[in-house]
Amino acid sequence: MGAYITDLKVIAAQATDREEENDHFLRFIQRRNGAAIDVLVHDINDSVSAGIDCTQCGNCCKSLVINITAAEIEGLAAYLGADVATVKHDYIEESMGGQYFINTMPCHFLSDNKCRIYEQRFTECRAFPHLHKPGFKERFLGTLLHYGTCPIVYNVIEQLKDKTGFRE
Ligand code: SF4
Ligand code: SF4
């Protein structure tokens, strides 16, 4: 995992220690140009994501509510060689509003910290922690919620503190 900090205990402890610092950084980012911040975050995220092996972590699969589309349920059923009704019964919860999501936390498909359906994992699984998308500044509060649990988020934010001059 390269030179990045990936020990989940260390990251959780630092999240507690740096709560006030991160609160200041949140306000610091809100005063910056959003497009320029996106360029920086995307650049940092490219290198951090390449240097951290999610298959050795799996921490987000223990705590995220993963929304799933009807098409993804069909894809999963085909992948597992099961029928859609069985997949829905065994793995999926449906909200009153008709939204589907995985019915357990940690996720059913996490085994030995690895995703058993990795090639077929859902769009939301692939997109997390969303640091490749535009609008980091607007989403920063939500991203900070994962600072103490996701090594990618932790390392990107720490580098961003340096590259924005927040921490000189
Ligand atoms: S489907 Fe795989 S990647 Fe997605 S939450 Fe479950 S274990 Fe994690
Ligand atoms: S996205 Fe973050 S929490 Fe999820 S497996 Fe990768 S490093 Fe771990």
- Output the six-digit token pair for 120: 């077929």
**Ligand nearest the Cα atom of residue 65:** 1
- pLDDT > 80? residue 168: no
Please report where in the chains the tokens 């692939």 appear, as a residue.
Answer: 126
Helix (H, G, I), strand (E, B) or coil at 110: strand
Best CA proximity match to 129, nearest among 72, 67, 62, 45: 45
- CA separation (Å) from 79 to 15, 73, 100, 106, 166? 38, 10, 18, 21, 47
Determine the average pLDDT of the residues in 77-95. 96
- pLDDT > 60? residue 23: yes
Cβ contact 56:8 at 8 Å: no
- Alpha carbon nearest to ligand 1 atom 5, residue: 61
Domain boundaries, the chain: 8-60+129-163, 65-127
What DSSP assignment string belongs to 97-134? TS-EEESSSS-TTEETTEETTGGG--HHHHHTT-TTSS
**Ligand nearest the Cα atom of residue 68:** 1
Q: How far apart are CA 93 and CA 14, in angstroms?
A: 34
pLDDT of the residue at 79: 97
Cβ contact 45:160 at 8 Å: no
For the CA of 126, the nearest atom of ligand 1: 3
For the CA of 151, the nearest atom of ligand 2: 7
Residues with CB under 6 A from ligand 1: 61, 66, 107, 109-110, 115, 117, 121-122, 125
Helix (H, G, I), strand (E, B) or coil at 94: strand
Strand order in the sheet with 100-102: 67-68, 100-102, 92-94
Q: How far is the CA of 83 from the centre of ligand 2 (A)?
A: 30
> Mean pLDDT of all residues in the chain?
95
pLDDT of the residue at 42: 98
- Alpha carbon nearest to ligand 1 atom 8, residue: 61
Please report where in the chains the tokens 């059923």 appear, as a residue.
Answer: 77
pLDDT digits (tens, 9 = 90+) for 87-140: 999 999 999 999 999 999 999 999 988 899 999 999 999 999 999 999 999 999
Determine the average pLDDT of the residues in 35-62. 95
Q: How confident is the model at residue 167 (pLDDT cuts 50, 70, 90)?
A: confident
Cβ contact 76:120 at 8 Å: yes
Please report where in the chains the tokens 């223990």 appear, as a residue.
Answer: 62
Cβ contact 26:163 at 8 Å: no
- pLDDT > 70? residue 1: no
